[in-house]
Amino acid sequence: MGDRGPPRVKNKAAAPLQITAEQILREAYEQREPSLQIPKQRIADLEELHEFQGRKRKEYEDALRRNRLNINQWIRYAQWELEQKEFARARSIFERALEIEPTNVPLWLRYIEAELKHRNINHARNLFDRAVTLLPRVDKLWYKYVSMEETLTNVPGTRQVFERWMEWEPEPQAWLSYINLEKRYGEYERARAIFEKFTIVHPQSENWIKWARFEDEYGSPDNVREVYSAAVETLRAAGDEFVDEKLLGSWAKWETRQKNFDKARELYKLGLNTLSRAKTMWLYNEYSAFEKRYGEREGIEDVVFKKRRVQYEEQVQENPRNYDAWFAYLTMAEESTKSIDDIRDLYERAIANVPPTQEKQHWRRYIFLWIKYAIYEELVTKDFEQARDVYKACLKLIPHKQFTFAKIWYMYACFEIRRNSLNVARKQLGMAIGICRTLFEKYLEKFPRTPQAWLDYAELEQMLGDEDRARAILGLAMSIPGLDLGLTEDE
């Protein structure tokens, strides 16, 4: 038996005639067999025409019996009948298809377009009426319907179709199309009545603005102002959150064009004071530009204050225990706001954010808020009872068993001295001294070899004029082993 493998090539030299793949493909294309051509059929007489039509109808009917849900096949069948000028048969096919799938919008449109193409207007109108009755939420059918009626210059009929459509409360664009129809024929009162219904169904701010612009173009200034007023009243009745900055800004800009600057300023402030911060960034910029152009120094400062207030609000909302932000916020409020109640509310919001731990380092900036509050009540509002209540509330809040703040005790005592309440001042200082001594004693019991603590304790007694006690404290410290070496408790 011989070798069953592939034949071996004895001569591996290049062939004298090289053939490329491109040449092979080109020769194959040139030598291809011609495709089958459908023979052209010539119809010589009426009998042959009827035979041809019968054969084609049988083909279509057989295809539909195999798959009666193929709507495209129904449409092709009806289109062929239209080419044969068999309008009655085409209508019959469309109707049979609609019985199978009555909600098929493209089928309705092809049916209607076929009638319009052959100028069967009444048939098309009847079909539109049937279609929108069955599918009232399909806007495309309504648009086609009103377009047909207006093309036929049947304006009353177009208006009647629009009225039927509006009863279903469609999307805003449908209402605007109806309004544009009335505008094209100069029926401005009718357009105004449509706007009134439109804003009831779709009370969004942008729709009220469109109405106001319509009145600005075709109405009077009084009409524009009435529209804007009705818009603000309607939306505020539903809740201030429904009022949009674009509405107030549009109204303010219109008032500015009317040279009514006070009204424009009032509208800007209404939006800034009523709406949330997230909804007023654009309004702030518009108000700022307005004041720079038409306002005075106070108005510009008011805009700056409002903008900074938004920034501080964002900071304290993000971190309520950002005491530096509260401090800056309160300082700005005292410089810009004349309402004492508003400033007090801001102070109450600030001091409500008590540090979460009982470590003195976390309380240092917080206590300064209380001090600033007390000074404000004493020096600005002159409400001395309120200032006294602030000091008392602060001292009650401090966890004196862990630490205290000598500054707040001292400031309270000085306040009582200024109010000629020497007994109260003496009592408060006595309490402060007692608390400080207790804290020093507890600390030294726990860390007896901390030199700085002994020195601070002795310095306190020396400041109080009790040198004997200070001397005794230092003597007691010197008797502790290791203290003179400056060793800490850890060492």
395 against 177, higher pLDDT: 177
DSSP 278: G
What's the mean pLDDT in 250-256? 91
Q: Give the orientation angle of helix 172-184 with respect to helix 139-151, to 10 degrees.
A: 10
**How much of the chain is helix, strand and coil, in % rounded to 5?**
75, 0, 25
DSSP 182: H
pLDDT for 444: 63
272 against 259, higher pLDDT: 259
Take residue 182 and report the two structure tokens written for it. 């009335």
Cβ atoms of 413 and 428 within 8 Å: the answer is yes
The per-residue DSSP string of 116-161 comes to: HHTT-HHHHHHHHHHHHHH-TT-HHHHHHHHHHHHHTT-HHHHHHH
Residue 485 has pLDDT above 70, yes or no: no
For the chain, the domains span 447-491
Cα→Cα distances 383→286, 332, 345, 419, 425, Å:
39, 21, 15, 12, 19
Q: How far is residue 132's CA from residue 116's CA, in Å, rounded to a whole number?
A: 17
Residue 303 has pLDDT above 70, yes or no: no
Residue 45 has pLDDT above 70, yes or no: no
Dihedral (CA of 331, 332, 336, 341) sign: negative
304 against 142, higher pLDDT: 142
In 10 A of CB 443, how many CB atoms?
16
**CA dihedral defined by 155, 160, 161, 164, rounded to 10 degrees?**
160
Picking from 109, 155, 113, the residue whose alpha carbon sits closest to that of residue 135 is: 109
Q: How far is residue 260's CA from residue 253's CA, in Å, rounded to a whole number?
A: 10
pLDDT for 457: 61
Q: Which single residue is written with the structure tokens 């900036």?
A: 365
311 against 344, higher pLDDT: 344
Residue 489 has pLDDT above 50, yes or no: no
pLDDT band at 288 (very low <50, low <70, confident <90, very high): confident
pLDDT band at 487 (very low <50, low <70, confident <90, very high): very low
Residue 213 has pLDDT above 60, yes or no: yes
What's the mean pLDDT in 211-218? 93
Residue 162 has pLDDT above 90, yes or no: yes
pLDDT for 16: 77
N- to C-terminal Cα separation, the chain = 101
